[in-house]
A and B are shown apart, each in its own frame.
Chain A
Amino acid sequence: MLIPHPLLGPRDAQEFTYLGDAALLNRPDGMAEGAEAAFAEYVYLRDNPAGVHRELWFHEQGDRSWLVVTRDTTTHEILGAELARDVKLKGGAA
């Protein structure tokens, strides 16, 4: 698989470490009221769609960027990749 790195162009997927659902960007506030329930959901509940999925890849053998990669899980087609940092600064993964 090739991942279109927003800074480095197409890179072999072997250079990356996979984490999973980009919803992990949306970490609840640990100091807020009801944090425990929010964290239980954050830590344990994930969507596992057959189709378009936004997910986190770490360019561990490369420039150490975390990317949000949009991938169709049924075809492995990659529809885009952004720096996770930019996604988070724009308000997180919807």
Chain B
Amino acid sequence: MTRLTGGLIDRARSLRFTFDGRTYSGHPGDTLASALLANDVRLMGRSFKYHRPRGVFSAGSEEPNALVELRSGARKEPNTRATVAELYDGLEAASQNHVGPLGFDLLAVNDLFSSFFAAGFYYKTFMWPRAFWEKLYEPAIRRAAGLGSLSMQPDPDAYDKGFLHCDLLVIGGGAAGLAAALTAGRAGARVILADEDFRLGGRLLAESHALDDAPATEWVARAEAELATLPNLRILRRTTVFGAFDHGVYGAVERVADHLPEPGRQVRQTLWRITARRAVLAAGAIERHIPFRNNDRPGIMLAGAMRAYANRWAVRPAKRVAIFTNNDDGHRTALDLAAKGVEVAAVIDSRPDARAQGQYRLVHGLVDNAKGRLGLRGVEIDSNGRKEWLDCGALGVAGGWNPNVHLASHHRGRPVWDEALQAFVPGEGGPCGLIIAGAAKGQGSTAAALRSGAEAAAEALAQLGIEARPADLPAAEDAPAGLRPLWHVPGKGRAWVDFQNDVTVKDIKLAHQENMRPVEHLKRWTTLGMATDQGKTANVTALAVMSELTGKPIPETGTTIFRPPYSGVSLSVLGGGDTGAHFRPRRLTPTHEWARAQGAVFIEVGPWMRAQYFPRPGETHWRQTVDREVLATRKGVGICDVTTLGKVDVQGADAGEFLDRIYANAMKSLKVGMVRYGLMLREDGTAWDDGTCARLAEDHYVVTTTTAQAGPVYRQMEFARQCLWPELDVQLISTTDAWAQIAVAGPNARRLLERIVDGFDLSNAAFPFMACAGLTVCGGLRARLFRISFSGELAYEIAVPARYGQALVERLMEQGADLGAIPYGTEALGVMRIEKGHAAGNELNGQTTAQMLGLGRMVSSKKDGIGAVMSRREGLAAETRVLVGLQPVDPAQPVLAGMHLFAEGAPHRTETDQGWITSACYSPHVGSSIGLGFLADGGARMGETVIAANPLQGQKVALRVVPPHFVDPEGGRLRD
């Protein structure tokens, strides 16, 4: 291992890690990239398309090349940038995107055929023959595409989401960000300072120049120490603010435990939603390179990154390095490396009047080629036509700095071209309340960045009415860069612009030739900027090349904007804790624990868990259980939790009038103490939801809805109350969760209930079918009783406050032991309602009408109910399909929901389709499968045989059309 002097690494401790199976060591403070470079590993990956060998290119999150798979097993994480992966003891990393060893990738054959893989290759080639796409091209492309590989195992770690609020969010903890945070923090504002690095300081950590005659890191340490004492300021390290959203909301990912082998008891990452009254974007700048032939050799990197490796990580990129620059900043790298004892072979400066700033060889000219496939061995210099190969193991390229305008362009903020800076800077627009500072604004010198950060914070606070004095700042370098633009080195061969997606200057020329000139076309034709790095180091350079080709200035050629996220955000953290069983709240009925003790099998019904059936010992098939539950209910008495049905309490002097408008049928005329079936329509006339409506008092109704529509119906009722008829005196509240509601059905239902009511007269005369009442049960428990039936049997629904639900069921079971009381689940419930011909969700599927349900006459024309007018329109009124019962001619044949109905002998085609089966089940009462369905002219076809077909599976069953009531068609049982 080779280390220079200095640096922000803890040399006292060593960390062991592996890369492609080999063990290396680094120090705390290292990134994977710095540690690999320190171990003289330069080859870190392969490019996406041509599988070219690649080394590290940058020292930050803009890295296009050094993408690795981190960790192993279920924690394996592809496409991780080695430049930001914090080293920990035991870190495992592997290179990706190669077949065979990294040094000899079989797919590198693509590189030999690169002339075939030019821009637009996929679009042009795989068009023909068409039939080859699905079977041949796509699978082959898919196999070769993608960089890393997934673990294919569930993520074992925990993630979280959180909300933060502040007056000022400072994005970036470099010179400008620290100055902003100090200014705002001292003024007492609530401040959040977020930085993606694990160490505050930004570019100050990578530079050698002094602040107030002391190393910059000393000032950073003092600033950090002061910030830590401020109770109104929170520092989020390892936190990437990845997007600016509406109204001052920022998304940020804090990598809480990415730097640990395993998170232990911590979450791995947290997704923060930060609501900030104002924000300062101090995201710095990203250096750009200068494309030349073979400029992607491992060892060629950004000059600023080279300086960062030397200064911050005490790593030399090679024994002998060279610099290629078009501005003074490149010379700084040469000086810093020379000061650390690294041999600087030459500084090649494209500016003819450039001067050496130290003891090194200066060449006025260009670099126009590089050699060393697996690691740079030398570069070819062209100095006014005089060519020379220069031996070096690394080349730093300094093409100027692009302000990091990423977040500034999230709200259609359009960066504008700054001619003096030769770069895009944030323009008008962009996220509201976001003030740009420092290098992100083009204020790149340390002094300017500090000043600009402090001023931005003061400006932001002034807007909020908080008085702030810009922090007193240390003296710092303020040198101009003296840049003279050089966008690429002309010449033959391939010069890379976008490393990750293998886009070269040639590709841009081809796009230009093929008239893909607008930036948007250029991007899609060449895939420029479409890789995981979003072209952070490529886009502006590509624009400049295109501008040169079109002869138009850069700002007229286009601009480049970015969308969130700033860098990759894992799906795991976006999911937070809301995965698997926690995806949404799970609602349990009041009798859930009791049902579980009875061995119930549960089923999800919307957010609810409901008992589906209650198997008994010896029952080997669910049908056995369900048949038993149905028969026992119809013979004795069955008990079922129906709490999940929605309940809306409606009170007020105008409650009846209100419900008349909500329902298709009339409710104002309902007598107190009675219940009526109610049908709701959508305003377009379609049947929507049904349930019961009970009138408990003159000004008090209770509405029930289906389980599935409880929320939407309540929402619609509130809409009607507030938006349509606010003049009505009516109040609503959802009481679905407040009452446990238990159905008690079967011939023994009355006898059972008589044993629990407190002296309430349940006789048919006193409490007839469709009666309702408030009463007490079990010696004083408040309850509501409704004589309604879904099963077709003598039945009641009894409601008690939810916390007594389980006790009530236990009491009913205990009292009903000699009456044959059994619990039944949703399956038996469904069978009994099909046997009785009651519509449910399958019939009310949003495509049917009251008329189809046989309820057409219920839609009152004497009042203005929601949906009534549209239900009478021509198309709906002409509908002849109507709900019928269906029974197989051969009782052994099954009936399946979804089958379509045809006349006997008719072909099975859309034109001859006469309807479909909505619900089907095996009826133990009938002794065969039965179904409900909509059949054209169904009412007039009783006794006729129709064919139910499932052409997809070649099924065909002859069915007899019957009335939709298989049980007790006269309804005598209900009314006894």
A residues adjacent to B (C-beta < 8 A): 1-2, 13, 17, 19, 24-25, 27-31, 35-36, 39-40, 42-44, 56, 58, 60, 64-66, 75-78, 83-85, 88-89
Q: Which of B245, B248, B864 contacts A29 (CB 8 A)?
A: B864
Q: How far is the CB of B712 from chain A (nearest CB, A)?
A: 9
Contact present for A2 and B275 (CB under 8 Å): yes
Q: How far is the CB of A79 from chain B (nearest CB, A)?
A: 12
Q: Which of B715, B727, B870 contacts A36 (CB 8 A)?
A: B870
Q: How far is the CB of A19 from chain B (nearest CB, A)?
A: 7
Stretch at the interface among B347-355, B608-616, B718-726: B718-726
Q: Which of B711, B715, B723, B863 contacts A84 (CB 8 A)?
A: B723
Interface string of B717-761 (1 = CB under 8 A from A): 011001110110000000000000000000000000000000000
What residues on B are CB-neighbors of A77 within 8 Å?
A: 432
Chain B 403-418 interface residues, beta-carbon cutoff 8 Å to A: 411
Q: What residue of chain A has the Cβ atom nearest to residue B727's Cβ?
A: A89
Contact present for A60 and B869 (CB under 8 Å): no
Q: How far is the CB of B668 from chain A (nearest CB, A)?
A: 15
Contact present for B723 and A36 (CB under 8 Å): no
Known: A43-B683, A76-B246. A30 touches B719 (CB 8 A): no
Q: How far is the CB of A77 from chain B (nearest CB, A)?
A: 7
What residues on B are CB-neighbors of A30 within 8 Å?
A: 864-865, 868-869
What residues on A are CB-neighbors of B249 within 8 Å?
A: 1-2
CA distance A84 to B726 in the complex (A): 9
* List of 8 A-B pairs having minimum Cβ-Cβ separation, nearest first: A30-B864, A85-B726, A2-B247, A1-B246, A85-B722, A66-B722, A76-B246, A84-B723
Contact present for B715 and A31 (CB under 8 Å): no
Q: What residue of chain A has the Cβ atom nearest to residue B248's Cβ?
A: A2
Q: What residue of chain B has the Cβ atom nearest to residue A58's Cβ?
A: B715
Q: Which of B247, B411, B723, B868 contacts A56 (CB 8 A)?
A: B723
In the complex, how many residue pairs between chain A and chain B have their CB atoms under 8 Å apart? 70
**B684 CB–A CB distance under 8 Å:** yes
What residues on A are CB-neighbors of B246 within 8 Å?
A: 1-2, 13, 76
Known contacts A2-B249, A28-B869, A58-B718; can you find 18 more A-B pairs with CB under 8 A? A2-B275, A25-B724, A29-B864, A35-B869, A36-B869, A36-B870, A36-B872, A39-B869, A40-B870, A40-B873, A43-B684, A43-B870, A56-B719, A56-B723, A66-B722, A85-B726, A88-B726, A89-B726
Known: A2-B249, A39-B683. A65 touches B869 (CB 8 A): no
For the side of the interface on B, what is the size category?
Answer: 20 to 34
Known: A43-B684, A58-B715. A65 touches B864 (CB 8 A): no
Known: A29-B864, A30-B869. A1 touches B247 (CB 8 A): yes
What residues on A are CB-neighbors of B432 within 8 Å?
A: 77
Contact present for B864 and A85 (CB under 8 Å): no
Contact present for B247 and A36 (CB under 8 Å): no
What residues on B are CB-neighbors of A2 within 8 Å?
A: 246-249, 275
What residues on A are CB-neighbors of B411 within 8 Å?
A: 75
Q: What residue of chain A has the Cβ atom nearest to residue B432's Cβ?
A: A77
What residues on B are CB-neighbors of A78 within 8 Å?
A: 247
Chain B 678-701 interface residues, beta-carbon cutoff 8 Å to A: 683-684
Q: How far is the CB of A58 from chain B (nearest CB, A)?
A: 6
Contact present for B722 and A65 (CB under 8 Å): yes
Interface string of B584-616 (1 = CB under 8 A from A): 000000000000000000000000000000000
What residues on A are CB-neighbors of B723 within 8 Å?
A: 24-25, 56, 66, 84-85, 88
CA distance A76 to B722 in the complex (A): 25
CA distance A75 to B410 in the complex (A): 12
Interface string of B825-865 (1 = CB under 8 A from A): 00000000000000000000000000000000000000111
What residues on B are CB-neighbors of A35 within 8 Å?
A: 869
CA distance A35 to B863 in the complex (A): 13
Interface string of B437-453 (1 = CB under 8 A from A): 00000000000000000
21 A-B contact pairs sorted by A residue (CB < 8 Å)? A1-B246, A2-B247, A2-B275, A27-B683, A27-B724, A30-B864, A30-B868, A39-B869, A40-B873, A42-B683, A43-B870, A56-B719, A58-B718, A58-B719, A66-B718, A66-B722, A66-B723, A75-B411, A77-B432, A85-B722, A85-B726
Q: What residue of chain A has the Cβ atom nearest to residue B864's Cβ?
A: A30
What residues on B are CB-neighbors of A64 within 8 Å?
A: 718
CA distance A24 to B711 in the complex (A): 20
CA distance A35 to B249 in the complex (A): 45
Contact present for A66 and B719 (CB under 8 Å): yes
CA distance A80 to B781 in the complex (A): 48
CA distance A74 to B246 in the complex (A): 12
Chain B 638-683 interface residues, beta-carbon cutoff 8 Å to A: 683
What residues on B are CB-neighbors of A89 within 8 Å?
A: 726-727
What residues on A are CB-neighbors of B727 within 8 Å?
A: 89
Known: A39-B683, A43-B683, A43-B684. A83 touches B864 (CB 8 A): no
CA distance A45 to B170 in the complex (A): 46
What residues on A are CB-neighbors of B722 within 8 Å?
A: 65-66, 83-85, 88
Q: How far is the CB of B564 from chain A (nearest CB, A)?
A: 14
With most chain B CB atoms within 10 A of its CB, the pick from A40, A42, A43, A44 is A43
CA distance A85 to B275 in the complex (A): 29
With most chain A CB atoms within 10 A of its CB, the pick from B683, B711, B726 is B726
Q: What residue of chain B has the Cβ atom nearest to residue A83's Cβ?
A: B722
Q: What residue of chain A has the Cβ atom nearest to residue B684's Cβ?
A: A43
What residues on B are CB-neighbors of A36 within 8 Å?
A: 869-870, 872-873
Q: What residue of chain B has the Cβ atom nearest to residue A38's Cβ?
A: B869
CA distance A58 to B865 in the complex (A): 22
CA distance A91 to B246 in the complex (A): 31
